[in-house]
Amino acid sequence: MTAIASADLHDPAVFQAGIPHDVFAEMRRTPGLTWSPDSNGTRGFWSVTRFEDLVTVSRDTATYSSGEGHIQIYDIDDDALAARASMIDMDPPIHTRLRRLISSAFTPRHVQDYRAAIQLRVAACLDELEASGGGNWVDIVAKPIPIGVICDLMGVPEADHNYLIGLTDHLVAGTGAEPLEPTAYGNTTDLRLLPFNSPAAFAMSQYAAELADKRRQEPADDLITKLIEAEIDGERLSTEEFANFFRLMIFAGNETTRSSMAHLALHLAQFPEAFDAVRKDRSLISAVTDEVIRYSSAILYFRRTVMTPTVLSGTELSPGDKVVMWYSAANFDDAQFSNPHEFRVDRPTSSPHVAFGGGGAHFCLGASLARLEIAELIAAVLDRGISFASVGEPEYVESNFVNGIENLEVAL
């Protein structure tokens, strides 16, 4: 018999107070995959909540496709899929060729080159926080650092960073329940053709095209120049392909790390012993960084579409079925993590979390960069002896896709 999810996971409201751990725990305990029936005209889907199953799906792109169907829960038409596709919505071999254009900039070794610039950005944000004795941790710390870093890498001028923060916020708003104003940002494109159905995607494409033009006239040592000059089979990326690539990088490099940094403030307040241990033994920095990333699970899920008949955990799956990998559930699977709700700095590095994906072709390109940014923030907080007199209630982003925090007041 098919097990039905006890909450409507289509509904962003279910994630209003963060990850619905009780719902996921019940799903993990239930044999097979759990079914979420159709809701508000969106086709039903299977949920993967156990660590082992998630890794299986992630690593088998032939059976579980990113290129067929959408990678979010809601379905979109084929023309919309084609218009918005970036490498994250593609399967090998084309995915592999696109990823190769840029992957060398994100290796663990290469990202070390950005350390000094990251430290400067972290210091500026913490100076501001300390000068004002606290404030909104998200606005002062969690937002500016990741956007600053990814914009530096891409080659986006500093003066435009806040504009891009606004655009990515508006993209995420497209995963919420509220309909967006179709003509915002002067949008003229049918919303269904735009990523996240958000007019901000239109504005971001326009911005990307203008920046690409500037770099064609004046090349620089940045990723935008690299992308516009790159060739696949002797052909350069079209304006649309470039814009989709740009949007993926800005969104993925910004919103995700921001969410984990926002959660870090909660962790600092909730788990002081863990951070005391790191203060005494700095070799624990990388362990605590990964625990922040696991515990915050900034991306709640990605979806795949079944290509050939298969069986997963005893559940029969048919071509066209939607399979949703809840990273935010698998990261708390007690078959993988002992006492998963404990925030610990002594977890074995041999059993890493799946916040960056379960491995395979789409494993987060920016994992090393995100780790470096978060580690530098933690190190600076500890170096300065920053501690919170109070941390307010987090106001979560209304979304079933990102585990974001909109506002979090802290007092030092």
Q: Phi/psi at 34 (nearest 5 deg)?
A: -100, 140
Strand 390-391 with 395-396, pairing: unpaired
Using the minimum distance from each CB to ligand HEM, give the nearer residue, 271 or 356: 356
Using the minimum distance from each CB to ligand HEM, give the nearer residue, 187 or 328: 328
Output the CA–CA distances (angstroms, integers) from residue 354 to 54, 135, 202, 254, in the order listed: 8, 32, 31, 19
Using the minimum distance from each CB to ligand HEM, give the nearer residue, 37 or 108: 108
What is the three-class DSSP state of 226? helix
CA–CA dist 90, 61 (Å, integer): 10
Using the minimum distance from each CB to ligand HEM, give the nearer residue, 165 or 249: 249
Smallest distance, ligand HEM to C-beta of residue 107, A: 12
Q: Give yes or no for a cis peptide into 93 (omega within 30° of 0).
A: yes
Smallest distance, ligand HEM to C-beta of residue 19, A: 13
Closest CA relative to residue 9, chosen from 301, 320, 294:
301
Smallest distance, ligand HEM to C-beta of residue 88, A: 4
Smallest distance, ligand HEM to C-beta of residue 309, A: 23
Smallest distance, ligand HEM to C-beta of residue 56, A: 12
Q: Phi/psi at 20 (nearest 5 deg)?
A: -80, 80
Using the minimum distance from each CB to ligand HEM, give the nearer residue, 109 or 280: 109
List of residues contacting ligand HEM (CB under 6 A): 58, 87-88, 99, 106, 150, 248-249, 252-253, 256-257, 260, 293, 298-299, 302, 327, 355-357, 362-366, 369-370
Using the minimum distance from each CB to ligand HEM, give the nearer residue, 106 or 137: 106
Residue whose structure tokens are 């870093």: 149
- Asked if residue 410 lies in contact with residue 263, where contact means CB atoms within 8 angstroms, the answer is no
Smallest distance, ligand HEM to C-beta of residue 325, A: 8
Using the minimum distance from each CB to ligand HEM, give the nearer residue, 173 or 330: 330
- Residue 136: its H or E element: strand 134-136
Q: Residue with the closest Cβ to ligand HEM? A: 366
DSSP code per residue over 340-377: TTS--S---TTS--STT-SSSTTS-TTHHHHHHHHHHH
Smallest distance, ligand HEM to C-beta of residue 233, A: 19
